[in-house]
Amino acid sequence: MTAGNFAENLLTWYDQHGRHNLPWHHDRTAYRVWVSEIMLQQTQVATVIPYFQAFMERFPDVQSLAEAPVDDVLSHWSGLGYYARARNLQKAAQSVVNDFGGLFPDTQEELETLTGIGRSTAAAIIAQAFGKRAAILDGNVKRVLARYHAVPGWPGQTSVLKQLWEHAEAHTPDERVRDYTQGIMDLGATVCTRSRPICISCPLQRGCAAYAREEVSLYPGSKPKKAKPEKTTWMVILEDKEGRILLERRPPSGIWGGLWSLPELDPAYGADELQEACERSLGLACEEPELIGGFRHTFSHYHLHIQPARLNVTGQNNVRDDAQQKWLHRHEALTLGLPAPIRTLLTNPTTYLSKQEQS
């Protein structure tokens, strides 16, 4: 199948079976396309849709996002994960406002100067928002092209990625590029799926090298596996006499960067040492702890075993509100940017007793 036939067959399929009514397809601006593209990184469409809609309601344009408090931005991202995306989103919005007069640039080079925008995301904005020819290569497109051309190896390898970019450039048409880029993403998401691809329904089946060899499951190659390290921590729910919970802001980089979370204590402490640990670390006298069911939370590069404990503060509260610590009632805390497991702990601690893996 020639490059031209590839695009033609894909576009014919897209006209009949593609997704034409996603929220970011309406009032299609560079801002809305950009936000959707960042949200869709590592996240499925069905999950993104309600987040996108709530985000647009609160931040309808790049100016409102640039000027918003970071806690507000993170609270609207809470649950989507990979929180650096939200921080980078706001930094890029501020650059658009300050360096580009509030208008998104329409060239690959300028878009890639914005924080969090790489080659494929910039191309998606160019194609989707401006209708200009640009080749994209997100995870779905990598899978389609790796199978179609039987490109061996893991796409994270430089040599493999280079081949996939060459194929992406060759297949991208000059006309209907907006539909083509949406179509190839849709094909990867709904037909050429990671497991159980529906090859019988694929418009590219006749030219697919992996299908011809009956080796579809071999492409793309898997990432070399490494055993994830295991870490453990105490997380303490400290409640004062007014019913307020102590929250601490995480460091700006790293896991849950910039979000509000519960204070953590060294896992070397035993349960009978938590009272002393709270007094030593935070200067707070507490009652005996009530242990909540522990659970394991998996990050991209390690597993974290979290053991929560609830303690009532009995003595004088020596911890004052500042930029890094806050005493808040639960309903106030839930308005902040919280990691998903912390939000669940504050909303319904007993959830973890039945639904999460015990640590």
Active site residues: 37
- C-alpha span between 161 and 82 (Å, rounded): 23
3-class SS at 72?
helix
- C-alpha span between 22 and 111 (Å, rounded): 23
Identify the sign of the CA torsion 267, 75, 242, 292.
negative
Rg (CA), the chain: 24
| Number of Cβ atoms within 10 Å of the Cβ of 229 | 9
- C-alpha span between 77 and 72 (Å, rounded): 9
- C-alpha span between 76 and 322 (Å, rounded): 22
Q: Which residue, 24, 26, 100, is CA-closest to 62?
A: 100
